[in-house]
Structure 1
Amino acid sequence: MDLIQNVFDVIDFRSFSNAWYWMVVAILWSTSSYWVVGVPYDLIQRAEREHGDAFTDMQAVVIVYVRRTLSIVRQSAVFLIGFMCFILAMLITFAVFYQKEFAQALLLLMVPLFGLGALNVRTALKIEAEGVGSDTIFRRLRRHRLMVQAIGMFSIFITATYGMFYNLAVLHAF
């Protein structure tokens, strides 16, 4: 019985007081910031420094990601938007009306991710329109990464603030 209780304590659904949740938040935003429009940021830096083969590789990866993203969006945008709205409505219902902590934690993760998805589509459309010329592509990818980092910082701030409020007010009844 003690072993089972320990297992459930480790994988607990209390999110804001659980170290696993905060590790997921940190990994999510560091990964989102590292992969800029599907391209690892170190490849972008190397391509900007060295040009040559690194630039050609970066261009190829950007072209593949842009084509793939826009193909998915153009074929199934209505279904994707409907599915995301369903997930969002479900999370809002459980988080706001039923006051479920796990749903609140997922909502604080998913809303910014939906924004990142829209930002990726917007950037892919701009890259498709502008092409992958040397000056424009670096400027576009840097701007995209900066926006992702800004969304991440804002999201982490909101999540941490709400998590502290939840832990103080709800769990400890202050």
Structure 2
Amino acid sequence: MDWYETVFELIDMRSFSNLWFWIALAVLWSSTSHWVLGVPWDMVLRARKKDAPDQSVTDLHDMVRINTNRILYIVHESGLLIAGFVCFVLTVLALTGFIYGREISQALFLMGFPMSLVGLASFLSARKIRMQALEGALLYKQMNRHRIVTQIIGMISIFVTAMWGMLQNMSVGVLGG
């Protein structure tokens, strides 16, 4: 076995039978769930405590304000362009994956589409935080609500991806054997 075969065996383009794909999927949803609007969840928990130091509350409010302003600025400046590009990429992935049968495109679509929903939810949460000038308990509640929405999207995404991946692996096993 030569070097190229070893590398291509390690980086298999059949995504659903590849351990690296499932590790990447787990890391994607784990980190997405941990970083709520760009703020680490442990920072929210620390600030939510009754006996939290004033500095942790101030830090949280500053971080939420910075990330909210950043998200809204990006959407305001280039939101339409980003939306068009994301829709184009997702359409290409869906067509090449589900119409032409490319497994790598299916895998990327099953990761990208739910992340686009999380991006939309992040924009809506950021807009609500800014418009209502949320602070204190109301801010913590909105951050928690956004995290739950992200986790629900993640759970559905992982379930659908796992079911589709098993179907793909079983059909390859049946057709290949």
Identity over aligned residues, as a percent?
A: 39
AA in 2 matched with 1:8? F
Q: Contact between 1:14 and 1:102, CA under 8 Å: does it hold in 2?
A: yes
1:146 to 109, 124, 148: 148
Say if 1:13 and 1:102, in contact at 8 Å, map to a contact too: yes
- Between the aligned partners of 1:171 and 1:100, the Cα distance in structure 2 is 16
| Aligned positions of 1:1-174 closer than 5 A | 1-49=1-49, 50-173=52-175
Secondary structure of 1:16's aligned partner = helix
Q: Could you tell me how far apart the structure 2 residues matched to 1:6 and 1:140 are?
A: 48
5+ long unaligned stretches in structure 1: none
Show structure 2 runs of 5+ residues with no match: none
User: Which letter does structure 2 place at the counterpart of 1:99?
Assistant: G
What is the rounded CA distance, in whole Å, between the counterparts of 2:173 and 2:127 in structure 1?
A: 45
TM-score, normalisation: structure 1 = 0.96
Alignment RMSD: 1.2
Distance 2:144 2:91 in 1: 33
**CA deviation string 1:107-164 (max 9, x = no partner):** 1000000000000000000000121310110000001101111110110000001000
Q: Distance in 2 between matches of 1:147 and 1:51?
A: 28
Structure 1 counterpart of 2:12, which letter?
Answer: D
Taking the aligned partners of 1:81 and 1:34, their CA distance within structure 2 comes to 24
* Aligned 8 A contact 1:130 1:136 in 2: no
Q: What is the letter of the counterpart of residue 45 of structure 2?
A: Q
Distance in 2 separating the partners of 1:171 and 1:105: 18
Provide the C-alpha distance between the structure 2 equivalents of 1:51 and 1:109, rounded to a whole number of angstroms.
38
Summarize deviations over 1:58-101 as a string: whole Å, max 9, x none.
00000000000000101111111110111011111101221100
Tell me how many residue pairs correspond in the alignment.
174
Letter in 2 for 1:26: A
TM-score (ref. length: structure 2): 0.95
